[in-house]
Amino acid sequence: MQPRSVQGEAALFRRYYQYLILERSFSENTLDAYKKDLYKLLRYYEEEGIDFRNVTLEQLQTFSATLMDLGISPRSISRILSGVRTFYKFLSLEHEIENDPCELLESPARGEHLPDVLTVEEIDQLIAAIDMTKPEGQRDRAILETLYSCGLRVSELCGLRISNLYLDEGFIRVHGKGKKERLVPISDTAIMELKLWFTDRDQLHIKPGHEDYVFVSCRRGTALSRITIFHIIKVLCEATGIRTTVSPHTFRHSFATHLLEGGANLRVIQELLGHENIDTTEIYLNIDRHHLRQQILDHHPRNQKHWE
């Protein structure tokens, strides 16, 4: 089934699949995998309002970062990007596009890899670039502080509920991958920004079914999507001139890196991140929650004395 945005291009895609079979000698299973991966790309384009013929290298890099944020393994991302390169090579051979945007597109390393991180100064720059005269200004400040303070996945941020906030105790309950739950300490700075956002949020008309979501659209009154969070960060990066590819996942990496550099225990960092290879229930069974919070207080830049 073709995505709605490319129904008019059905003939082009049939030629592409014939190219894979006749010229690349793909098996039926490989062809099926390439079709599914192409669908992922085109669905992403549809959500972003991107014309697949005019895509840029930067947009493809953001697509790759989105896959990583979804928790897809580097090996799987490399396979998907291989399909993307094949598709655009075909378009170039068919003279459907002038320039191949994939020439400089890199796949994530499969071995040891240190992801891009932001410095504390760069995070401050992004937050300072938020236009506080706009209705969503305080909301966006709370979003960035919560991402950085708690090391959340973007899906966890979008799904965060008011009923899962324990701000007086300094914790939030997060629903992670595989419907697992974990308690995460939250910095006083993020708590302050959230409380200021709730003052603005109380003035909004929230649509039924969305009342418990922490972050909602100021215009539609509905829970924010992942794409909106990506867009907020992209606009701020453009405003500050930060040229590295930054996604919500970059804040998660920065959270972990800054804690590690500050001296936090690696095991504690894994617990805070909700690492998929660690049983989340160990937070409640084996690790003292006050110890977790103390690690944040002692080692996270937002809690150290020179930030007070």
> One of 220, 284, 290, 291 is an active-site residue; which one?
284
Among candidate residues 141, 249, 299, 300, the one labeled active-site is: 249
The residue from 153, 182, 253, 300 that is catalytic is 153
**Nearest CA-CA partner of 171 in 299, 273, 292:** 292
Query: Closest Cα to residue 63, out of 234, 241, 235, 275?
Result: 234
The verdict on whether 284 is a catalytic residue reads yes
Give the CA count within 13 Å in the CB-facing half-sphere of 5: 16
Instruction: Give the tokens for residue 173.
Output: 């309950």
- CA dist list (Å): 81 to 87, 112, 287: 10, 19, 39
Among the listed residues 79, 85, 177, 180, the single catalytic one is: 177
Read off the tokens for 129.
Answer: 């670039």
Start-to-end CA span in the chain (Å): 55
Q: 240, exposed or middle or buried, with CB in 10 Å at 0-12, 13-18, 19+?
A: middle
**CA-CA distance, 38 to 9, in Å (whole number)?**
13
Q: Is 252 a catalytic residue?
A: yes
- Other beta carbons within 10 Å of 79: 15
Active site residue 153: yes
Contacts of 95 (CB under 8 A, 6+ apart): none
Catalytic residue list: 153, 177, 249, 252, 275, 284
